[in-house]
Structure 1
Amino acid sequence: MNELEAFFTGRIWLKDFTPFPEEQIERAIAKGDLLVIKGITADGQCSRCLEKSSHKILSYNCAKCGSVCFYCRHCIQMGRISSCTELISWASPSPKLHLNHSFNWSGTLTAAQKTASTEVADSLARKENHLVYAVCGAGKTELLFQPIFDALQKGLRICIAAPRTDVVLELSPRIRAVFPSTTVHTLYGGAPIEKGFADIVISTTHQLYRFEKAFDVMIVDEADAFPYSFDEALERAVLKAAKPDSPIVFVSATPSDKLLKATANRSEIFRRFHGHDLPVPKFKPLWRYKKKLERNAIPRKLVVWVEERIAKQEPFLLFLPTIELIEHSIPLFKKLDVRIEAVHSKDFQRKEKVMALRNGDIPGLLTSTILERGITIPNVQVAVVGADDALFNSSALIQIAGRAGRSISYPAGDISFFHDGISREMDKAKSMISFYNRRGMR
């Protein structure tokens, strides 16, 4: 397989922005190896993200072609797609994948994980969709290892997609370690281009705009997470990236009613792999906390909570509702311990800061909901400041609570919901966690 075939098979890519010389691309087009696709179709649909709504496909005076063009506003952050834009894709049949894969995992599945793993494999064999509904810390990723290996042995190409970069970055080293002889590519905004033809692609759902009929098996991790659960275009991207008859495995601790109704095949695990209950959050009033922080004073209850974590050398995550409040508050918390850091979606160093917390180099992080899922740190303690804020729905609060008690060495953990009045979503989250614990005892 040559380098063009390895890169473009299953991909749909902007012709003017490829990692190959223009002459090489033109020769492949002339030879018929690369197919040229119009950026905006005649009926006004974007060929990359499949958007066609009138408020997303807009007209403008195009300097490139000198006439009025249409462009797609929806996926413009990945490069402008216009009427005169050309996309390219590999025109030949997909290559056969190699079958010499190794499986390097010595862990043991619980009885519930084994059952779920077998059920997933059976659904994939029948080419049917499947939902893994399992609580945070149930070991969802581990139960997928055997079905993934079975698919690889059949020469199938697999995509593991997640809505958020942080989840992708957590999954990538784990998958690479389990399948050391398998070519694995990791795709997210700003990721380096990797060479070769990947048997497994681990990708954010946004990156799937750049794929079409590429994968034999699709796994969507954290299928309930924003933005995937709120953006129909991302759902279309998953379907477009999969081959027409490819099964999709959805993985979620808090699936939506829509997903529950749409997926007939389902595996449920309401017990963590180590057999302990999920820690139940404690509600703690923190009246007028925003005004106090804005006046450069940390509420006393919050000071006590943070100082207790530091004294016990327990890593902590402190969730706040807005980036503005995080940035305003971090200098105040640094007065408690200069090593405390803050992360949010606009922080390009958040990967390094999370690693520093994991390594014990810093005591804790102030964070936005960017770390509500996809992060595992032994013995981490969790607090939400303003748990009553509208941003924190029950799903987000359950996921945040799910960061604690994940390690077999530290199966418990403190989860404090500091609030300025208990919300319905807080009550719902606590009730659901208690429900999971009761179900897990059966």
Structure 2
Amino acid sequence: MDSVASCSELYIWKGPPPEHNLPENPLAWQGELSPAQQNASKQVIKAIQKKENLLVWAVCGAGKTEILFQGIEVALLKGERVCIATPRTDVVLELLPRLQKAFPEIKVVGLYGGSEDRNTYGQLVISTTHQLYRYKEAFDTVIVDEVDAFPYSADATLQQAVKKSQKPQATTIYLTATPNPRLQYQAQTKKLPSVKIPARYHRHPLPVPVYRWIGNWKRTLKRKKLPQELLKWLEPRLQSQKPVLLFFPHIETMEEALPLFQQLHPHIESVHSEDPNRKEKVQKMRERKTPLLLTTTILERGVTFPNLDVAVLGAEERIFTESALVQIAGRVGRSADFPKGEIVFFHFGKTTEMVKAKKHIESMNRKAVKEGYIE
């Protein structure tokens, strides 16, 4: 969508909303929810009916999208507008076809930079948080996906844009696997109603990260070589055609290392936030045309690839916070057909954030076992 300057004229529609010819049952999804998902779904419905706010604290791969379906249907049948807001374009592109399939007779639009749906009215809107600058009192329910993610979590103007886009009496539902301390405090003190899902829908535990010391990997890369420990881990996966995501702390380091990896396989690629071919590269990874995709934290959340192994190079770097590492680990084992996989933190020194991330995942697994959500 086009940019908006401070001198741009903005228009507000004061007339009646468009009329909807709603089907009797707008939700076409026929799947089954796990007991943990069912509990969360009921809380979502309750929040939407009572115009209350809600935090859904669910592990990566818990099926957060599916628990929203019945609540969205309740809102649509009341003639209300719903927006799912997410910090990143990649997540909009992944959610849009899923929501269109779940609600085939509802106008579902996706809004992001360059979207073809601009100026299109939708009763169900999937949008980046930046696009909500364009709305005022438009939505009865706003679902903020990955509420802890950058840039939304660090930008007060984006948070205000979400509030401005809502009607005076509206519901806000926050979704995340890694709520920040403020949200955790609000949930613990009952200032914000919350529901926790400690297990994935397929009833398998979350893969727990493995630490592997790799030495001074930066110096090795500068010598135009790949660290031996990383090579030993990668080579059998390339031979067996097991897809791999390898996370780097910096774009520059990743781009300099790419030719070294391409010596292992010519179809290895890299992707980052400024990559003009980002959408196409992610799709090639989904289609298993790319055996190994080097990436920055741009793919730490909101994307799903089946039967995947994941590694972090330089897990000791500052950008890899507890939240980021938990999200990265959450890319592994998401599919019911492939519920297992390996997540490795290659490092030059163990950090507090690495330890906290591992403990976070282990604590969720213990809670899931205690509550009977995993075998």
TM-score category (smaller protein): over 0.9
Per the TM alignment, residue 253 of structure 1 is displaced from its structure 2 partner at its CA by 0.4
Deviations 1:328-364 (A, max 9, x none): 0111100000110100001121211111111111101
1:169 is aligned to: 93
Q: What secondary structure, in the 3-state scheme, does the structure 2 residue paired with 1:237 have?
A: helix
Per the TM alignment, residue 95 of structure 1 is displaced from its structure 2 partner at its CA by 3.6
**Structure with larger RCO (C-alpha < 8 A, sep 6+):** 2
Quick one: distance in 1 between partners of 2:369 and 2:318? 32
Per the TM alignment, residue 195 of structure 1 is displaced from its structure 2 partner at its CA by 5.9
Which region of structure 1 is more displaced relative to structure 2, 261-270 or 151-160? 261-270
Q: Does 1:86 find its partner at 2:14?
A: no
Q: Where in structure 2 are the equivalents of 1:139-150 lying within 5 Å?
A: 139-150=63-74
Per the TM alignment, residue 103 of structure 1 is displaced from its structure 2 partner at its CA by 1.6
- Could you tell me which of 152, 167, 170 is aligned with 1:243? 167
Quick one: distance in 1 between partners of 2:13 and 2:205? 50
Unaligned runs of 5+ in 1: 1-12, 18-77
Q: What secondary structure, in the 3-state scheme, does the structure 1 residue paired with 2:139 have?
A: coil
1:311 is aligned to: 239
Quick one: distance in 2 between partners of 1:297 and 1:224? 36
Quick one: distance in 1 between partners of 2:18 and 2:342? 51
Q: What secondary structure, in the 3-state scheme, does the structure 2 residue paired with 1:345 have?
A: coil
Q: Does 1:324 find its partner at 2:249?
A: no
Q: Where in structure 2 are the equivalents of 1:81-160 lying within 5 Å?
A: 81-82=6-7, 85-100=8-23, 102-160=26-84
Q: Does 1:390 find its partner at 2:318?
A: yes
Query: TM-score scaled by structure 1?
Result: 0.80
Q: Is the contact between residue 315 and residue 346 of structure 2 (CA under 8 Å) also seen in structure 1?
A: yes
Quick one: distance in 1 between partners of 2:137 and 2:184? 25
Quick one: distance in 2 between partners of 1:79 and 1:296? 44
Q: RMSD of the TM alignment (CA)? A: 1.4
Q: What secondary structure, in the 3-state scheme, does the structure 2 residue paired with 1:81 have?
A: coil
Q: Where in structure 2 are the equivalents of 1:184-333 lying within 5 Å?
A: 184-194=108-118, 196-262=120-186, 264-333=192-261
Q: Is the contact between residue 98 and residue 155 of structure 1 (CA under 8 Å) also seen in structure 2?
A: no
2:348 is aligned to: 420
Q: What secondary structure, in the 3-state scheme, does the structure 1 residue paired with 2:169 have?
A: coil
Q: Is the contact between residue 103 and residue 149 of structure 1 (CA under 8 Å) also seen in structure 2?
A: yes
Which region of structure 1 is more displaced relative to structure 2, 299-308 or 253-262? 253-262
Task: Determine which structure has more spread, i.e. the larger CA radius of gyration.
Answer: 1
Deviations 1:308-328 (A, max 9, x none): 211221101000000001110
Q: What secondary structure, in the 3-state scheme, does the structure 2 residue paired with 1:216 have?
A: strand
Q: Is the contact between residue 136 and residue 253 of structure 1 (CA under 8 Å) also seen in structure 2?
A: yes
Deviations 1:174-217 (A, max 9, x none): 00110011101101111123564211110000110111100011
Quick one: distance in 1 between partners of 2:107 and 2:94? 17
Q: Is the contact between residue 145 and residue 176 of structure 2 (CA under 8 Å) also seen in structure 1?
A: yes
Q: What secondary structure, in the 3-state scheme, does the structure 2 residue paired with 1:133 have?
A: strand
Quick one: distance in 1 between partners of 2:171 and 2:153? 19
Quick one: distance in 2 between partners of 1:312 and 1:293? 25
Q: What secondary structure, in the 3-state scheme, does the structure 2 residue paired with 1:203 have?
A: strand
Quick one: distance in 2 between partners of 1:95 and 1:362? 44
Amino acid at match of 2:4: G
Quick one: distance in 1 between partners of 2:79 and 2:244? 43
Quick one: distance in 2 between partners of 1:86 and 1:312? 57
- Could you tell me which of 411, 415, 420 is aligned with 2:339? 411
Q: Is the contact between residue 376 and residue 403 of structure 1 (CA under 8 Å) also seen in structure 2?
A: yes
Quick one: distance in 2 between partners of 1:173 and 1:436? 30
1:64 is aligned to: none
Deviations 1:242-292 (A, max 9, x none): 111101011000011212334521111101111111000000011110111
Quick one: distance in 1 between partners of 2:143 and 2:19? 21
2:373 is aligned to: none
Quick one: distance in 1 between partners of 2:276 and 2:107? 27
Quick one: distance in 1 between partners of 2:282 and 2:14? 42
Unaligned runs of 5+ in 2: 371-375
Q: Is the contact between residue 330 and residue 341 of structure 1 (CA under 8 Å) also seen in structure 2?
A: yes
1:36 is aligned to: none
Amino acid at match of 1:275: R
Q: What secondary structure, in the 3-state scheme, does the structure 1 residue paired with 2:167 have?
A: coil
Q: Does 1:179 find its partner at 2:103?
A: yes
1:380 is aligned to: 308
1:54 is aligned to: none
Quick one: distance in 1 between partners of 2:289 and 2:312? 22
Quick one: distance in 2 between partners of 1:141 and 1:359? 22
Q: What secondary structure, in the 3-state scheme, does the structure 1 residue paired with 2:266 have?
A: coil
Quick one: distance in 2 between partners of 1:421 and 1:155? 55
Q: Is the contact between residue 332 and residue 342 of structure 2 (CA under 8 Å) also seen in structure 1?
A: yes
- Aligned positions, number: 365
Q: What secondary structure, in the 3-state scheme, does the structure 2 residue paired with 1:383 have?
A: strand
